[in-house]
């Protein structure tokens, strides 16, 4: 019996790598254009970072973290990257740089949740974070960047949903409204919702439990709560964001029930959903988190960012072909074959030779599968110092010099 990969993890095999390279390259190009700098933080962090940073009423911290002890220290595989980026931003005094400070990242995240289509235990995210700008132009900037990135991937059939959660003040009345509407059927809701009711009622709206969702419908929950009434400042901010998006021609839908799963959001939250993904349909989630830097011990710093699930993006992109190599050297003289292969590589070409000296017909069969051209190096070629190049697409053969090969 072979040992299998752990449940909820996936190998990314060579045949799938072209898609991953395409996504990563498009990310790098899009974010470079907007002067976002790449950052790479550790895959595991002090458990406290997530407890404080992501919030201890979230599913991520309560149920989904991979936590382990080493020399009396509690460490956790990162379930998301915003907390790690904020930690690095503080640890290296990057907050002293003149704002904005803009980062992007890519990498694996780890969450212990039920694996299903579009949901893994190790998965990959690409994300951006922008620090130091209070104005809604920063919210618009990161949303624009998400849309540009998705366009770069050829993805158009997507919906941007936005909402404002306001500040703590704005949320107070809304939380009460929500609690009042839920109270009559609270005892029928899932354990999570019952604990959210006390700790963070807003999160009830983010519940993925089918029974809860059916109850919300039956009790007309959404018609009983009117949406968050924003204070002057928050409402101004939200209005400004919409003006920016309109001016940028970015289509969006307002969803007053969009609350997101993390504790740290303030004002703007958004999600980008695909119309072609079934139930795990969110490809991007983000928002403003003006309190997080302070929560993690830094100075008050407005910030906004998002993360996308790379596996979900990949599911929307057509499968790209693995690139062929430039030359396959066909020969029964292995020393000459390896020398020519090495020379071709030194001249910037991808090349391989047949490691056995089997029949030319067999070698050519292999060449046709993996290369654009075969260089045939038989007895006559070696004796008379030339190469026969076979175009594996057209089958055309030409007598060539090395200079011809590297032209």
CA-to-CA distance for 256 and 292, rounded, in angstroms? 23
Smallest gap from Cβ 120 to ligand ATP, in A, equals 4
Q: Residue written as tokens 């752990």?
A: 6
Within residues 33-72, the interface with ligand ATP by CB under 6 A covers none
With CB under 6 A as the contact rule, which of the stretches 90-98, 277-285, 350-358, 373-381 interacts with ligand ATP? 277-285
Q: Exactly one of 34, 155, 282, 315 binds ligand ATP (CB under 6 A); which one?
A: 282
Q: Which is nearer to ligand ATP, 282 or 406 (CB)?
A: 282
212 near ligand ATP, judged by CB under 6 A: no
Are 181 and 285 spatial neighbours (Cβ–Cβ below 8 Å)? no
SS3 for 211?
Answer: helix
CA-to-CA distance for 372 and 64, rounded, in angstroms? 47
CA-to-CA distance for 203 and 402, rounded, in angstroms? 68
Q: Which is nearer to ligand ATP, 113 or 148 (CB)?
A: 113
Distances (CA, A) of 83 to 169, 291, 310: 24, 12, 19
- Element of type H or E holding 48: helix 47-53
Q: Residue written as tokens 């704002």?
A: 99
Q: Which two tokens stand for residue 270?
A: 């958004």
Fill in the per-residue mask, 148 to 187: x = in contact with ligand ATP (CB under 6 A), - = not in contact: ----------------------------------------
Alpha-helical (H) ranges within 259-323 are 292-295, 310-316
Q: Which is nearer to ligand ATP, 307 or 389 (CB)?
A: 307
Within residues 116-145, the interface with ligand ATP by CB under 6 A covers 118-120, 123, 125
With CB under 6 A as the contact rule, which of the stretches 37-45, 97-105, 114-122, 154-162 interacts with ligand ATP? 114-122
Q: Which is nearer to ligand ATP, 120 or 341 (CB)?
A: 120
305 near ligand ATP, judged by CB under 6 A: no
Best CA proximity match to 251, nearest among 278, 270, 267, 233:
270
Which residues, 6+ apart, have CB-to-CB distance to 248 below 8 Å? Answer: 140, 144
Smallest gap from Cβ 316 to ligand ATP, in A, equals 11
Q: Exactly one of 23, 51, 53, 80 binds ligand ATP (CB under 6 A); which one?
A: 80
288 near ligand ATP, judged by CB under 6 A: no
Cis peptide before 100 (omega within 30 of 0): yes
Q: Which is nearer to ligand ATP, 134 or 280 (CB)?
A: 280
Q: Exactly one of 83, 182, 234, 284 binds ligand ATP (CB under 6 A); which one?
A: 284
Which conformational region is residue 396 in: left (phi greater than 0), alpha (psi within -120 to 50 degrees), or beta?
beta
Fill in the per-residue mask, 233 to 272: x = in contact with ligand ATP (CB under 6 A), - = not in contact: ----------------------------x-----------
Which residues bind to ligand ATP, rule: CB under 6 A? 80, 111, 113, 118-120, 123, 125, 261, 280, 282-285, 307-309, 311-312
């Amino acid at each position: 019996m072979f040992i299998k990969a752990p449940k909820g993890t996936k190998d990314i095999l060579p045949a799938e790598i072209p898609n991953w390279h395409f996504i990563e390259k498009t990310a790098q190009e899009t974010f470079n254009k907007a002067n976002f700098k790449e950052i790479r933080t550790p895959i595991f962090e002090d458990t406290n970072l997530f407890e404080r940073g992501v919030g201890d009423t979230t599913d991520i911290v309560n149920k989904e973290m991979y936590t382990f002890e080493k020399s009396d220290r509690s460490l956790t595989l990162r379930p998301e990257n915003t907390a790690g980026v904020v930690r690095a931003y503080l640890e290296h005094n990057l907050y002293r740089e003149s704002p904005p400070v803009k980062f992007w990242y890519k990498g694996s995240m780890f969450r212990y949740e039920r694996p299903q289509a579009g949901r893994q235990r190790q998965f990959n995210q690409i994300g951006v974070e922008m620090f130091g700008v209070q104005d809604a132009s920063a919210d618009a900037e990161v949303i624009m960047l998400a849309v540009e990135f998705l366009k770069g991937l050829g993805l158009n059939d997507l919906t941007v949903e936005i909402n404002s959660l306001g500040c703590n003040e704005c949320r107070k009345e809304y939380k009460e409204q929500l609690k009042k509407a839920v109270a009559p059927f609270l005892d029928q809701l899932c354990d999570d919702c019952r604990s959210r009711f006390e700790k963070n009622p807003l999160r009830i709206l983010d519940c993925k439990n089918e029974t809860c969702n059916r109850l919300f419908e039956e009790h007309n929950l959404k018609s009983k709560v009117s949406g968050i009434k924003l204070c002057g400042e928050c409402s101004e901010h939200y209005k400004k964001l919409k003006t920016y998006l309109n001016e940028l021609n970015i289509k969006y839908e307002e969803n007053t029930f969009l609350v997101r799963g993390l504790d740290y959001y303030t004002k703007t939250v958004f999600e980008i959903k695909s119309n072609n993904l079934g139930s795990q349909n969110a490809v991007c989630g983000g928002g403003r988190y003006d309190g997080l830097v302070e929560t993690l011990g830094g100075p008050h710093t407005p910030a906004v960012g998002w993360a996308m699930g790379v596996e979900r993006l990949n599911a929307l992109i057509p499968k790209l072909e693995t690139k062929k190599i430039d030359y396959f050297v066909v020969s029964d003289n292995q020393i000459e074959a390896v020398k020519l292969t090495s020379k071709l590589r030194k001249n910037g070409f991808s090349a391989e030779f047949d490691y056995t000296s089997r029949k030319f017909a067999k070698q050519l069969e292999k060449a046709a599968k993996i290369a654009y051209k075969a260089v045939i190096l038989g007895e006559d070629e070696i004796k008379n110092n030339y190469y026969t190049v076979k175009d594996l697409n057209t089958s055309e053969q030409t007598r060539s010099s090395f200079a011809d090969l590297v032209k």
